[in-house]
Amino acid sequence: MADVSEKSSGPALLAGLGLFIAFETVAFYGLQFLTSGLGEANQNQPENTIVSNWVKTMVFFVAHLTLVIAAMLVLSNRLPRRYRSQMMGWFYLAVLMSFVLIIPLFETTD
């Protein structure tokens, strides 16, 4: 008999969404604290250069991707088989969030 994977139920998808939002919130504020010493606080000053802000952006981006990949590796071994079908969707959404979270990273004041 072929291995038939079960579809995730509605409550399982809502739980996944809630955990995803919690993970992204904790990751953003943790990485914001980690990168708070990098970059320029005032983006509109006359001698502002792109170099320090580029460093802050790349540190944030690489650290976020590291967290996302580590979380995916841990969860792919810990989750029951019926919930693993959600993993790649949340992973791709987290990679997109890496780009989106850079905007509020520079909007907030240090």
Rg (CA), the chain: 18
Check residue 83 and give its pLDDT: 75
Q: What per-residue confidence (pLDDT) applies to 27? A: 92
> Which residues, including other chains, have CB under 8 Å from residue 12's CB and lie 6 or more apart?
82, 83, 86
Give whole-number Cα distances, 55 to 17, 52, 62, 93, in Å: 31, 5, 11, 24
- pTM, 2 dp: 0.77
Q: At which residue do the structure tokens 């809630």 appear? A: 18
E strand map for 1-110: none
Q: In the Cβ-directed half-sphere of 66, how many Cα atoms lie within 13 Å?
A: 7
pLDDT of residue 54: 81
Q: Give the pLDDT of the chain (110 residues) as one tens digit per residue.
A: 455 556 667 787 888 889 889 999 999 899 888 888 776 666 666 666 666 678 888 888 999 999 999 999 898 888 887 777 788 888 899 999 888 888 887 775 54
